[in-house]
Amino acid sequence: MDFDGNFVMTIDGRPVPGTTMIDVVNPATGQRFATAPDCTREQLDEAVAAAKRSFAAWRSTSIAERQAMVAKAADILLDHAGDMARLFTREQGRPIDAARQEIEGAAAWMKAVAAMEPPVHISEDSETQFIETRYVPLGVVCAIAPWNFPVNLAMWKVAPALVAGNTMVLKPSPYTPLCTLKIGQLLADIFPPGVFNVISGGDALGPMMTAHPGFAKISFTGSTATGKRVMQSAASDLKRLTLELGGNDAAIVLPDVDLDAIAQTIFMGSFFNSAQICVATKRLYVHEDVYDGLRDRLAAIAAAVKLGDGAEQGTMLGPIQNKRQYDRVMALLDDARSSGLTLIEGAAVPDGGGYFVPITIVDNPPEDARVVQEEAFGPILPMMKFTDIDDAVERANASEYGLAGSIWSGDTAKATKIARQLETGTVWVNQILNLRPDTPFAGRKGSGFGTENGMDGLLEYMTPQALYVAK
């Protein structure tokens, strides 16, 4: 397969070129390097109709067969991981090794989900009656993915939705459509036509999809602001919803930590993928006794980081993925600067037209600073001092979001007790960014609702059917 061009949609098992195209830009250069189809209303209708037609046969296929096809799809991704990683780096910006890890991680995820099976509950099996609850699929799923982990977060939806017996129309972000389009083509021979459709397009396509009456469910990952619009749009015909939205995660560092042991992990927990991670640490609360020590270590790591084009050997962190986000992050940085906050800048930003933002630590800003209150989704980390742990927990919880958070301490039992007080769907103790396919991932408050991963995640694509049989 040609990974450099010929980007087409996959509708009803067939390659479908665009009648008009959208530009795809390499964020390391700011230059367009490819185009992707801009799906029309008619093409969307075709994709939904194909998914609808294939639903009856697909849901009647045994779960073992569906699991086998999803596992085979994972192998196909692995077979093409090298080519796909190169394309990933060009469209997303992340360094090539980490790009490959995303493809391989997505494949591993699909295999783990392919081993899951929904439960069957028997409430009664007596002389008079038999009562059983099974989980059945919903219909056609609309899947909408963001640009920060474009392959992984799409596959988090594809694997459970298809194993559960649904069919799907998947839309990647307009900023990162290319790997997903190639995956559509690669898997066209694996799934029956119409089961897995991939379309791409500009800003108008998402709202067109969420308003489409043919979908039974929307699984959306993206920002909280967009999530609210998706929810409004879904209300018209009561589409089921999973909303994985933004976060402003806190990490709390207690005074009994070994700073040398944790500094690098804390750094990457904030800045990996140039801080474009929903569950990155975006507010760092540090006990006053270890504040200066941690700040100085993080500043030293930031100064030594190689920022650059992910295609170049040795690059550790790439650019911000797109111009819109770059402008947002730069505006936040300007606001911090003009508010008189103390900024510690890391390594030099490369010259050229790429969307590079300097790695920046904000030294003890007030709690009400924009950079503390808003999700930066870029490499600006506010670090705040605390004296009293209850105060730190209260500040951590005083957020519109509730995605994840972490506690760092030499005393695991004490840290675990504190971790349980965080109002977030995921909490870590002395680790971060660890997610698993068999463990539920769910947001609270403004971070959305519904669950991905684990049995809860699989059941998000199903609904219970209770069967009562009189004997």
Region from 39-47, 203-211, 340-348, 414-422 binding ligand NAD, contact rule CB under 6 A: 203-211
Region from 48-56, 74-82, 94-102, 144-152 binding ligand NAD, contact rule CB under 6 A: 144-152
Q: Which of 146, 310, 450, 454 binds ligand NAD (CB under 6 A)?
A: 146
Marked catalytic residue, from 39, 91, 278, 375: 278
Site for ligand NAD in 363-402 (CB under 6 A): 375, 377
3-class DSSP assignment, residue 260: helix
Give the torsion sign (CA, 29, 34, 40, 42): negative
Residue 274: DSSP 8-state:
G
Reference 57, options 184, 195, 161, 187; nearest CA is 195
Helix 178-186 to helix 81-92 angle (10° resolution) is 150
3-state helix, strand, coil in the chain (%, to 5): 40, 25, 35
Interface with ligand NAD, residue 221, by CB under 6 A: yes
Q: Which is nearer to ligand NAD, 173 or 409 (CB)?
A: 173
Backbone angles phi, psi at 300, to 5 degrees: -65, -40
On whether the CB atoms of residues 27 and 307 are closer than 8 A, the answer is no
Q: Which is nearer to ligand NAD, 16 or 218 (CB)?
A: 218
By beta carbon distance, the residue nearest ligand NAD is 206
Cα distances from 432 to residues 147, 187, 426, in angstroms, run 21, 33, 10
Q: Is 244 a catalytic residue?
A: yes
On whether the CB atoms of residues 251 and 405 are closer than 8 A, the answer is yes
Q: Which is nearer to ligand NAD, 281 or 447 (CB)?
A: 447
On whether the CB atoms of residues 410 and 375 are closer than 8 A, the answer is no
Marked catalytic residue, from 91, 102, 244, 460: 244
Interface with ligand NAD, residue 206, by CB under 6 A: yes
Residue 58: DSSP 8-state:
H
Region from 94-102, 167-175, 249-257, 432-440 binding ligand NAD, contact rule CB under 6 A: 167-175
Q: Which is nearer to ligand NAD, 147 or 356 (CB)?
A: 147
Looking up tokens 């769907």, which residue turns up?
Answer: 425
Q: Which of 95, 365, 443, 450 binds ligand NAD (CB under 6 A)?
A: 443
Q: Which of 37, 160, 174, 310 binds ligand NAD (CB under 6 A)?
A: 174
Size of residue set near ligand NAD by CB under 6 A: 28
Q: Which of 74, 96, 198, 230 binds ligand NAD (CB under 6 A)?
A: 230
Region from 147-155, 342-350, 390-398, 460-468 binding ligand NAD, contact rule CB under 6 A: 147-155
Q: Which is nearer to ligand NAD, 295 or 375 (CB)?
A: 375
Interface with ligand NAD, residue 144, by CB under 6 A: yes
Q: Is 288 a catalytic residue?
A: no
Least distance CB 14 / ligand NAD (angstroms): 23
Q: Which is nearer to ligand NAD, 277 or 341 (CB)?
A: 277
Interface with ligand NAD, residue 281, by CB under 6 A: no
Encoded one letter per residue, x for contact with ligand NAD by CB under 6 A and - for no contact, window 236-255 reads --------xxxx--------
On whether the CB atoms of residues 283 and 251 are closer than 8 A, the answer is yes
> What's the length of the chain?
471
Give the torsion sign (CA, 205, 208, 213, 216): positive
Q: Which is nearer to ligand NAD, 189 or 400 (CB)?
A: 400
Give the count of beta carbons closer than 10 Å to the beta carbon of residue 390: 10
Interface with ligand NAD, residue 147, by CB under 6 A: yes
Least distance CB 160 / ligand NAD (angstroms): 14
The residues that bridge with 401 in the sheet, in sequence order, are 445
40-72 in b/e burial notation, b at 16+ Cβ within 10 A?
Answer: beebbebbbbbbbbbbeebbeeeeeebbebbbb
Interface with ligand NAD, residue 55, by CB under 6 A: no
Interface with ligand NAD, residue 226, by CB under 6 A: yes
Torsion of CA 340, 341, 346, 347, to 10 degrees: -20
Q: Which is nearer to ligand NAD, 173 or 315 (CB)?
A: 173
Q: What's the one-letter identity of residue 360?
A: T
Interface with ligand NAD, residue 223, by CB under 6 A: yes
Looking up tokens 């790439």, which residue turns up?
Answer: 318
Cβ contacts of residue 42 below 8 Å, gap of 6+? Answer: none
Q: Which of 145, 198, 263, 462 binds ligand NAD (CB under 6 A)?
A: 145
Please identify every residue annotated as catalytic: 244, 278
User: For binding to ligand NAD (CB under 6 A), which residues are involved?
Assistant: 144-148, 153, 171, 173-174, 206-207, 210, 221-223, 226, 229-230, 244-247, 278, 375, 377, 403, 443, 447
